[in-house]
Structure 1
Amino acid sequence: MYEEYDVVRAIRDINDKVPKGSKGAVLIIHTSTPPQYEVEFIDEEGNTLDVLAVHERDIEKA
Structure 2
Amino acid sequence: MAFKEYEMVKLKRNIGSMPAGSVGTIVFVHHDPRVAYIMEFLDADGNTLDLITVEEADVETNQ
TM-score interval for Structure 1 and Structure 2 normalised by the shorter chain = 0.7 to 0.9
* Contact 1:40/1:50 (<8 A) preserved: yes
Aligned mates of 2:54, 2:36 — CA distance in 1: 5
Aligned mates of 2:18, 2:49 — CA distance in 1: 6
If you compute each CA radius of gyration, which structure gives the higher value, 1 or 2? 2
Identity of aligned residues (%): 38
State the AA in 2 paired with 1:28.
Answer: F
Q: Deviations over 1:6-61 (max 9, x none)?
A: 0000000012x100000000000000243000100234x24422101110011011
Q: CA RMSD in A?
A: 1.3
Matches within 5 A, 1:13-52: 13-15=14-16, 17-43=17-43, 45=44, 46-52=46-52
